[in-house]
Amino acid sequence: MNKRFFLISLLLLVACSNGEEEKITQRLSAADVLASGNVEGFLRASEARRFEFPQDHAAHPGFRNEWWYFTGNVETPAGRRFGYQVTFFSSAIRPEADNSCLENNAWCTNTIWMGHAAISDISTEKHMAAEIFSRQEPGLAGARLDPFRVWINDWQLFSTGNDFPWELEVITDEFALSLSLAAEKSPVLQGSNGLSQKTPEAGNASYYYSITRIETRGQIYLDGQRHEVSGTSWLDREWSTSALGEDQTGWDWFSLQLDDGKEVMYYQLRDTNGNAHPSSGGNLTSLMGTQSAITPQQMRLEEQAFWQAPDGKQYTTGWHMVFQENDWLIQAVFEDQLMDVTFQYWEGAVEILDTSSGTVVGRGYLEMVR
């Protein structure tokens, strides 16, 4: 998966700038950024590795980028529904050559963090987003194992031990959320045993695992009101020193949780003409946790409904997805779920409908980067 890589690379370039995103994005195409990304001295995901848990929940220093990416659909006992997203991104400015600097000075750091949080209030069709930036040291952000804690200032994901259950706490100016997360399934290794190849070039890959079904309970604070909520979340974990291919400009990414206990992850890279790039793919997780790959040849994705963002970019809010025996309509719960932060993208809650009967068969999240 390349999707968040793009964001993290741009982060480096605007970390010390204020606003003016438009100018920046106009001047920098994704390809420019990734082509100029310096990979020298960083570790690379060039071969399959053994994943170990809970160790792999913590940071992997030496790689350039890493993230903890939560999405989920929750609702109140009265049936008021919310979608949420919380992400911790970390990005290294320099390869960690030696640690002598940090020994002498607590402010020495080579890592910068960015957090994104959003809530989709489905009943009012209101989407709220927030972001946070921080350097890692001195103790301002980080990810450690024992006890487990990933944090950016006062946004944090933590546990009393080093594994689930986890607590996720985020406070922004507009909203806050405090959620308890308990994994219902074991981690799913994406790509080939957790090695997700981005382009044919060796090392241009990431280590990628997901926890596709996480039982979620807690509170959402909005407009001075507290909402008790429960539902299901999805975690994506990825670390890499990779770059987008020159002919890749964006992507669509689906995380779908079916009511019958299945989960589907599928991403489609888009080329400069807006068509699907061959380096696409996905994974189906069964109720019991067994996995099977979904190849681009097996997948038919049709774009059916569109929404135009204020900056003129067009996002697809209605999809027709057909693969194996499945024939679904995937619809955004409402159109404007644009992440209006320093780097804009669309990330929102979706419903999965059975095409023939029109009944809702699951929920999920959709991300589109254009």
Partner 1 sequence: MVILPGDLYECKVITGTALLWRSAMRYALQRRWQTVLNILGITVGVMMVVAVDLANNSAREAFDKSLELLSGQITHQISGGSNGLPDALFSRVKTELGLQKAAPSLRGQVRVNGQELTLLGIDVISEAAMQRSRPGLPDQVFAVTGNFIAAVGSDSSVVMEESLAQSLGLSQGDTFSLRTMNGSHDAELVAVFQSQDEAATGNLILADIAAAQTLLDRPDRLDSIDLTLDDTAVAQLRSWLPANLMLVEVQGRNDNLQQMSEAFHINLLAMSLLSLLVAGLLIYNTVTLSIIQRQQTLGIFRAQGVTRQQVFTLVILENAALGFIASVLGVVAGFLLGRFLVTMVTATVDNLYFELPVTTFFVDPRVLVKGLGLGMLLSIASSLLPAMRAALSRPVTLQHQAAVNSEWQKRLHLLAVPGILLLIGGRVMLMPEYGSLVTGFVALTLMVFGFCLLVPGLLYLLLQLLLMISQRWIGLSGVMALRNASSAINRTGLAVAALCVAVSVTVGVGVMVGSFRGTVIVWLEQSLPGDLQLTATSADTLQEGFPVELLDELARTDGVEGLYFSVLQDVESEFGPLRLGVNAIPALEKFYLKEATDTGLSDFDTGQGIFISEPLAYLEKIELEDSINLLTENGLRPFTVKGIFFDYTSGIGMVQMHDSLYERYWASQAPTRLTLEIKRSNDEESVQTAVREILSTYGSGFSLVSNRQLREITLQIFDRTFAITNVLRFLAILVAFIGVVSTLMALQLERLREFAILRATGMTPWQVSALILKQTAVLGFCAGVLALPLGLMMSEVLIDVINRRSFGWSMQHFLPESVLIEGFLLALVAALLGGVYPAWRAAKILPAMALREE
Whether the CA torsion 159, 164, 165, 166 is positive or negative: it is positive
Task: Please state the closest distance from residue 135 (CB atom) to partner 1, in A.
Answer: 5
- Choose which of 2, 9, 110, 232 interacts with partner 1 (CB under 8 A): 110
Q: 119: exposed, middle or buried (C-beta count within 10 Å: 0-12, 13-18, 19+)?
A: buried
Q: Which is nearer to partner 1, 305 or 341 (CB)?
A: 341
Selected range binding partner 1 among 18-26, 178-186, 233-241, 331-339, rule: CB under 8 A: 18-26
Q: Which is nearer to partner 1, 49 or 94 (CB)?
A: 94
Other CB atoms within a 10 A radius of the CB of residue 365 amount to 26
Q: Which is nearer to partner 1, 110 or 268 (CB)?
A: 110
Distance CA(90)–CA(42), nearest Å, equals 14
Distance CA(47)–CA(204), nearest Å, equals 10
Task: Decide: 113 and 80 in contact? Cβ < 8 Å.
Answer: no
Give 128's strand partners.
Answer: 119
- Choose which of 101, 182, 202, 293 interacts with partner 1 (CB under 8 A): 101
Distance between the two ends of the chain, CA-based, in angstroms? Answer: 15
Give the pair of three-digit tokens for residue 73. Answer: 């659909």
Selected range binding partner 1 among 126-134, 278-286, 344-352, 354-362, rule: CB under 8 A: 126-134
Q: Does 14 bind partner 1 (CB under 8 A)?
A: yes
Selected range binding partner 1 among 120-128, 148-156, 207-215, 301-309, rule: CB under 8 A: 148-156
Q: Does 94 bind partner 1 (CB under 8 A)?
A: yes
74 Cβ contact list (under 8 Å, min separation 6): 81, 82, 83, 84, 179, 216, 220, 229, 230, 231, 232, 233
Provide the CA 358 distance to its chain's centre, in angstroms: 28
Q: Which is nearer to partner 1, 28 or 43 (CB)?
A: 28
Q: Which is nearer to partner 1, 138 or 161 (CB)?
A: 138
Q: Does 306 bind partner 1 (CB under 8 A)?
A: no
- Choose which of 31, 43, 48, 140 interacts with partner 1 (CB under 8 A): 140
Interface contacts to partner 1, rule CB under 8 A:
12-20, 23-24, 27, 93-94, 101, 104-112, 132-140, 151, 153-154, 171
